[in-house]
Structure 1
Amino acid sequence: MSDRHAWIDASAGVAGDMLLGALLDAGARLEAVQAAIDAVVPGSIRVSTTEVTRAGLRAGKAHVEAVTDSPPHRTWTSIRALLAGAALPAPVRERATAVFARLAGAEARVHGVEAGDVHFHEVGALDAIADVVGVCAALHDLGVTSVSCGPVALGSGHVRGAHGRLPVPVPAVAELSRGWRVVAGGPGELATPTGMALVRTLAEVCEDLPAMTLDAVGVGAGHRDRPDRANVVRVLLAAGNASGTEEAVQLEANVDDLDPRLWPGVLAGLLERGAGDAWLTPIVMKKGRPAHTLSVLCSPDHAERLRAYVFEHTSTLGVRESARRKTPLDRLFVTVRVRDTAIPVKVGHRNGVIVQAMPEFDDVAALARRLSLPERVVLQEAAAAASAAGYAAGARLRTP
């Protein structure tokens, strides 16, 4: 089954092995997880599962066993190289790399060092590599394409780590929790840096359980069995994006003194850095001055970076920010042949019916230049080729 949505219940906390156990309990194949881990650190880790009880509830427990004598501490630079050289499916590599990048950034900020030089100690040992790669492989095996998560319980009190006695949430977890709804949830360390990095990277939105038709539930156990609450993470799976909507942020700035020749580069730079869309609106400001409103639509995770880019590359003195929710169409790309040239076509669909089918204009324009034809002619031919192939508005979607 593909195109599934996963909602994570972290109301009792979250750790990497708990999330891995929940995904395996929900139906991810252990052999797929093991193969992905072996691709990154061959012959170093063995993963197994058992059934346990936590506060009287059945749960799956993921066991991660190092089978090498002295697993080395690693930097983010060395882990990134391992992931880049591993024979992994692209979605697994991209997700795992993004998780470790976020974890390294948090540790770097906490310890005042460069991210590439972060020595992970306990969060960079083999078990954490197994947790991160294993979770990403399990999501891929389950066909999960979107993830959301509820508020996360972080815990309270103190723990002892590699750098001495630390308050809970430990500094890296606190850093990773910025912008997410959290609660204490009880005494002790309930959320680990690896678990929080997985949530913050994989989950697109913090939301209570959305309306969804469940097709699988997985329960993953933590190490301790507490009498006051079930020490588990739950994963609820449903076909498709459960809510159909995504959280977004809209940044805006009014600018009346920027050389207009710079605007195309500003817009392109914003899109390259993760903006979902960026545009200009002509306005008239006080004293009749002509100006533009720069608007940037992005995910909450990209807002800080894009806000900094706006300040650096425009002359604005302030950026407004507002929360948005958007409802995107499901999308896929197909290719059609136009005069013996492959042209990509973006297909937007909903509930199995095509809503939009639009040839990629840059490819159309390139072909038009090569053939010395008007762009409108090649665009019409590409649209006709897409329609002839069955990709037209109102048609039932078929697998390309």
Structure 2
Amino acid sequence: MKTLYLEPFSGLSGDMLNGLLIDLGGNVEDLKKELAKIPVAGYHLHVQRIAKSSIYGTDFDVHLAHGAKDHGIENDFSPTNQPAHLAHHHHEHDHNHAHARNLQDILAIIDKSSLTKTVKKHSRNVFLDIAQAEAAVHNKAVEEIHFHEVGAIDSIVDVLSFFILWEQLEISQVYSSYITEGSGTIEVAHGVMPVPVPAVMQLRKGTNLIIRQDFEIQTELVTPTGIAIFKEIQPIFRPLEGQEIEKVGYGFGKRETGKFNALRGSLLRQGPSKKEIHQTQDQILKIEANIDDQTPEQLGYVMEYLLSKGALDVFYIPIHMKKNRSGILLTLLCQPEQKDVFTKELFRQTSTIGVRYTSMARTVMQRTFGTKKTPYGAIQIKQNRYEEIEKNTLEFSECQRIAKENDLSIYQVYHDLEKYL
């Protein structure tokens, strides 16, 4: 499983998100094979690696058979400042109810496909979120919200493509910098509207999304599809610190903003627990600190943070300190050369004013990774070996993902998968 770091410094859209995942290694031919499983025709993918501002990335677009393109919701707040043939087509369909699909129609298309449960689940959630936002904006019931026929094709392919690529790349965790939105106003079917547009504002409701406006850009940068997909993958907002980058990609936007219009993303190198181990003997450093004035919530964050910085292990033991104070013994294991890095981090992240060190010899099993086919799909397992002793173990993150996607207990997942070790 992989970790993705997003940098939406020029907004979010379905095209940008799909282009990014392809630029990071998503396979277009496999994507097309998966999309063939949905009962929708009249389109083809246009995927091209191009340069903008002398930086190469991927341009992703859904081209419709009649050559026009629509943005999905009937009477929505899509801008009219687009090429004339697109704007004309959009106007024609604004009043053509015969060519519209409602939310249930789109969900039925998704459900009837033979795509994986994961792709179906996330795609359904995105369309439901968008429809609910549009319903609130227009003061209608969700059932009354209609997607244009061509717009539905475009939107369906955009959303399903993203989660097919997401599954291809085996992304399990996402972090992000703040989202940049444009400013000013745009002209839409209803007149002149402020940026962010009403649907995007409604999709932000009840979230802690960090969005900042660029007042030098007088147009929208964040689309409803883009923000809805972003919400569904649930990124954690934090800076890219102490992480080794494995690959960097760019997904391009269509607007000419006067600035570099792209979504940048990085695949982060997996932590030590994911690395293969071939030597059985090494030296490690144990760092300890006594803590008596931080909450469990704070220390939970500290543990996650230290592990993300490359600690081999972090654990806590309850202790009873002088003056009858209850406290926590924080123990961190790391490589000897990481001593100064983690000393500074412990002083910065905890209330301790002193740390202790012990150099230790360690014997570990050799570790490699393998894949097993199961009823829940292919899973990764750890293969551990020391001389003639062999142990195969399940990855907790894999079991956790399967439990969530199939609404099962973690105990049931382990019970079902142990036979495949």
Q: TM-score, normalised by structure 1?
A: 0.57
Which residue matches 1:180? 209
Residue 129 of structure 1, CA deviation: 1.4
- Mapped to 2, the partners of 1:106 and 1:41 lie a distance apart of 26
Which residue matches 1:282? none
Residue 24 of structure 1, CA deviation: 0.8
Whichever residue aligns with residue 128 of structure 2, its letter is A
Which residue matches 1:238? 268
**After superposition, what is the alpha-carbon deviation per residue over 1:225-276, rounded to whole angstroms, capped at 9, x for unaligned?**
444x21000121135589x9xxxx9xxxxxxxxxxxxxxxxxxxxxxxxxxx
- 2, 5, 23: which one aligns with 1:4: 2
Residue 187 of structure 1, CA deviation: 2.2
Quick check: 1:39 aligned with 2:34?
A: no
- Mapped to 2, the partners of 1:120 and 1:41 lie a distance apart of 16
- Mapped to 2, the partners of 1:19 and 1:81 lie a distance apart of 24
Whichever residue aligns with residue 118 of structure 2, its letter is P
Whichever residue aligns with residue 195 of structure 1, its letter is G
Quick check: 1:201 aligned with 2:228?
A: no
Quick check: 1:166 aligned with 2:166?
A: no
Residue 18 of structure 1, CA deviation: 0.9
Whichever residue aligns with residue 193 of structure 1, its letter is P
Point out the more displaced range, 38-47 or 81-90: 38-47
Q: 1:78 to 1:210 in 2, by over 3 A?
A: farther
Whichever residue aligns with residue 210 of structure 2, its letter is R
CA RMSD of superposed structures (Å) = 3.7
- Mapped to 2, the partners of 1:65 and 1:107 lie a distance apart of 25
- 13, 16, 35: which one aligns with 1:15: 13
Quick check: 1:146 aligned with 2:189?
A: no
- Mapped to 2, the partners of 1:234 and 1:28 lie a distance apart of 15
Contact persistence 1:38–1:45 (CA under 8 A): no
Residue 84 of structure 1, CA deviation: 0.7
Which residue matches 2:332? none
Q: Mark the runs of 5 or more structure 2 residues left unpaired by the alignment.
A: 71-98, 275-296, 298-371, 373-380, 385-391, 397-410
Contact persistence 2:137–2:198 (CA under 8 A): yes
Q: 1:103 to 1:209 in 2, by over 3 A?
A: farther
Q: 1:74 to 1:85 in 2, by over 3 A?
A: same
Quick check: 1:214 aligned with 2:245?
A: yes
Residue 139 of structure 1, CA deviation: 0.5
Whichever residue aligns with residue 14 of structure 1, its letter is L
Residue 68 of structure 1, CA deviation: 5.5
Residue 148 of structure 1, CA deviation: 3.0
Which residue matches 1:98? 125
- Mapped to 2, the partners of 1:195 and 1:123 lie a distance apart of 18
- Mapped to 1, the partners of 2:194 and 2:170 lie a distance apart of 38
- Mapped to 1, the partners of 2:239 and 2:42 lie a distance apart of 38
- Mapped to 1, the partners of 2:172 and 2:106 lie a distance apart of 24
Residue 201 of structure 1, CA deviation: 1.1
Whichever residue aligns with residue 229 of structure 2, its letter is L
**After superposition, what is the alpha-carbon deviation per residue over 1:190-219, rounded to whole angstroms, capped at 9, x for unaligned?**
111111111111124233335433222220
Residue 113 of structure 1, CA deviation: 1.5
Quick check: 1:132 aligned with 2:159?
A: yes
Contact persistence 2:40–2:153 (CA under 8 A): no
Q: TM-score, normalised by structure 2?
A: 0.55
Which residue matches 1:57? 55
Q: 1:165 to 1:225 in 2, by over 3 A?
A: closer
3-state secondary structure, aligned to 1:28: coil
- Mapped to 1, the partners of 2:186 and 2:236 lie a distance apart of 29
- Mapped to 2, the partners of 1:87 and 1:114 lie a distance apart of 30
Match runs of 1:56-135 below 5 Å: 56-67=54-65, 72-121=99-148, 124-135=151-162
Contact persistence 1:76–1:101 (CA under 8 A): yes
Q: 1:226 to 1:241 in 2, by over 3 A?
A: farther
Which residue matches 2:378? none
Q: 1:355 to 1:41 in 2, by over 3 A?
A: closer
Contact persistence 1:149–1:203 (CA under 8 A): no
Whichever residue aligns with residue 238 of structure 1, its letter is L
Which residue matches 1:318? none
3-state secondary structure, aligned to 1:39: coil
**After superposition, what is the alpha-carbon deviation per residue over 1:346-382, rounded to whole angstroms, capped at 9, x for unaligned?**
xx99x997799xxxxxxxxxxxxxxxxxxxxxx9xx9
Contact persistence 1:15–1:191 (CA under 8 A): yes
Which residue matches 1:257? none
3-state secondary structure, aligned to 2:240: coil
3-state secondary structure, aligned to 1:172: helix
Residue 77 of structure 1, CA deviation: 1.2
Residue 122 of structure 1, CA deviation: 9.4
**After superposition, what is the alpha-carbon deviation per residue over 1:122-153, rounded to whole angstroms, capped at 9, x for unaligned?**
99432221111111111111111222332111
